């Protein structure tokens, strides 16, 4: 019923944007993209008929960013990159207005958010140096806001917690994730900074699911960097802390897929580290916990490439462990499961090179275990019993 009423059209665009963001978070990429594209086109029309500093442009930038995020989840990376660039351009034009724009702080946060998300996209495509550049740009936009005074009037009219510390911690955590393998010492430094901020925020508001979820992600990253440095005992402590937080979050918000996926990753990391330390039975238990936690997500979100790939990786790790334990039959089954899931990820998001790389590794691992089984049978060697 909005017809040509600008105010009602803006409300309609905002409603579509919120619906699309929720659909994306719940894994319904097709509906999310449709809603967000419709919202973005309305915002584009509205932005063309308002002043350069009109707040509608800030909502437009947010919508462009969220549409790009939905496209990333659907594996449409080239289109996602284009919308991220548009979102950055829109937010940058508002941030450049400085204090003359009444929502200057929000514009800076919006710009930093999209810079961070562009960095994550580039991480997926193995463009590591470019990804690091975007993460650092996001940090540069956010750090001055920590010391920038917030007016009493703005504080009184806002019921929300200041988003800057949490956003900055998230970017630092993502940068740490990028550096985990190549520069683990730097990764530990950035993850430690993020974790300190997140734990402070969590202490002041223990019921904040978003803070708890991001803290779990940072702990996973910190533990992986510690393990890469050979600090395995410390890494195990870190992963166990992540699991403790993750268990609480999943119990309170059982239908939120990201929390369940991150908890599965915590168990997977724990399994890998215990394997490195030779504690194979404990490692097996951790991998089985990871599969039990995350397996339902593969069924629930068949079009989410990252979830399919992640679970494929867990099955691959479980298969390698079973090989170490001498159970070649279970190992072959695990590798087959890994191939099946990774194949889905490749079909959903063929642009992501690492999914293809993972698939080739899973296939090579399965061929290897099948070949060793045939050799053992040919020499009359009995298969090891299952543990």
pLDDT average, residue stretch 322-328? 94
pLDDT average, residue stretch 35-57? 91
pLDDT average, residue stretch 30-50? 92
pLDDT at 157: 41
Percent of the residues in the chain that have a pLDDT greater than 90, as a whole number: 70
Q: Can you name the CATH fold of 1-144?
A: 1.25.40
pLDDT at 124: 87
Domains 162-300 and 308-378 are alike in CATH topology: no
pLDDT of 63 over the 70 cut: yes
pLDDT average, residue stretch 164-189? 96
**CA separation for the pair 8, 77 (Å, rounded):** 32
pLDDT digits (tens, 9 = 90+) for 146-171: 987 665 445 444 446 688 999 999 99
pLDDT digits (tens, 9 = 90+) for 235-250: 999 999 999 999 999 9
Q: What is the DSSP string of 23-82?
A: HHHTT-HHHHHHHHHHHHHHHHHHHTTS-TT-THHHHHHHHHHHHHHHHHHTT-HHHHHH
pLDDT at 375: 60
Span between the terminal Cα atoms of the chain, in Å: 66
pLDDT average, residue stretch 120-128? 92
pLDDT average, residue stretch 67-86? 93
Contact between residue 235 and residue 268 where contact means Cβ atoms under 8 Å apart? no
pLDDT average, residue stretch 104-119? 96
DSSP E strands, the chain: none
**For residue 58, what pLDDT band results from cuts at 50, 70 and 90?**
very high
Picking from 29-43, 65-79, 147-161, 264-278, which range would have the lowest pLDDT averaged per residue?
147-161
pLDDT at 51: 84
SS3 156: helix
308-378 is a CATH 3.40.50 domain: no
**For residue 378, what pLDDT band results from cuts at 50, 70 and 90?**
low
**CA separation for the pair 67, 7 (Å, rounded):** 22
pLDDT of 374 over the 90 cut: no
Q: Selecting from 3.90.1200.10, 3.30.465.10, 1.25.40.10, 1.10.357.10, what CATH number does the domain 162-300 have?
A: 1.25.40.10
pLDDT average, residue stretch 377-382? 47
pLDDT of 380 over the 60 cut: no
- Higher-confidence position of 254 and 78: 78
Half-sphere exposure of 308 (CA within 13 A, CB side): 27
pLDDT at 384: 39
Residue 138 phi/psi, 5-degree rounding, is -65, -45
pLDDT of 269 over the 60 cut: yes
pLDDT at 386: 39
Picking from 6-15, 43-52, 57-66, 370-379, which range would have the lowest pLDDT averaged per residue?
370-379
pLDDT average, residue stretch 281-298? 94
Q: What is the DSSP string of 331-346?
A: HHHHHHHHHHHHHHHH
Contact between residue 265 and residue 310 where contact means Cβ atoms under 8 Å apart? yes
What are the domain boundaries of the chain?
Answer: 1-144, 162-300, 308-378
Percent of the residues in the chain that have a pLDDT greater than 70, as a whole number: 92
pLDDT average, residue stretch 255-270? 92
**For residue 181, what pLDDT band results from cuts at 50, 70 and 90?**
very high
pLDDT at 229: 95
pLDDT digits (tens, 9 = 90+) for 326-369: 999 999 999 999 999 999 999 988 888 889 999 999 999 999 99
Query: Within 10 A of 204 (CB to CB), how many other CB atoms are there?
Result: 10
């Amino acid at each position: 019923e909005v017809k040509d009423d600008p105010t009602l059209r803006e409300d309609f665009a905002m409603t579509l944007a919120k619906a699309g963001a929720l659909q994306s978070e719940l894994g319904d990429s097709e509906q999310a993209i449709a809603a967000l594209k419709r919202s973005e086109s309305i915002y584009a029309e509205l932005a063309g008929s308002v002043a350069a500093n009109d707040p509608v442009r800030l909502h437009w930038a947010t919508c462009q960013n969220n549409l790009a995020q939905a496209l990333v989840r659907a594996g449409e990376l080239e289109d996602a990159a284009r919308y991220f660039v548009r979102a950055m351009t829109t937010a940058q034009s508002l941030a450049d207005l400085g204090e003359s724009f009444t929502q200057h702080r929000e514009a800076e946060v919006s710009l930093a958010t999209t810079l961070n998300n562009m960095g994550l996209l580039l991480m997926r495509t193995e463009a590591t140096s470019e990804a690091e550049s975007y993460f650092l740009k996001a940090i540069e936009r956010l750090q001055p806001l920590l010391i920038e005074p917030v007016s009493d009037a703005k504080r009184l009219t806002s019921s929300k917690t200041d988003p800057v510390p949490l956003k900055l911690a998230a970017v630092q955590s993502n940068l740490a994730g990028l550096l985990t393998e190549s520069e683990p010492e730097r990764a530990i430094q950035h993850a430690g900074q993020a974790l300190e901020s997140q734990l402070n925020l969590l202490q002041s508001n223990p019921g904040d699911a978003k803070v708890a979820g991001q803290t779990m992600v940072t702990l996973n990253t910190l533990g992986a960097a510690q393990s890469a440095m050979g600090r395995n005992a410390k890494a195990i402590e870190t992963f166990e802390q992540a699991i403790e937080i993750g268990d609480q979050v999943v119990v309170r918000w059982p239908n939120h897929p990201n929390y369940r996926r991150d908890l599965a990753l915590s168990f997977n990391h724990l399994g890998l580290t215990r394997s490195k330390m030779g504690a194979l039975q404990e490692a097996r238990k951790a991998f089985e916990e990871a599969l039990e936690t995350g397996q339902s997500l593969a069924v629930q979100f068949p079009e989410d490439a990252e979830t399919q790939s992640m679970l494929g990786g867990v099955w691959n790790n479980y298969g390698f462990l079973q090989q170490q334990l001498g159970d070649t039959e279970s190992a072959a089954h695990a590798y087959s499961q890994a191939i099946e899931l990774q194949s889905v990820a490749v079909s959903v998001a063929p642009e992501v090179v690492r999914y293809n790389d993972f698939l080739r590794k899973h296939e090579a691992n399965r061929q290897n275990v099948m070949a060793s089984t045939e050799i053992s049978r040919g020499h009359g060697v009995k298969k090891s019993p299952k543990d």
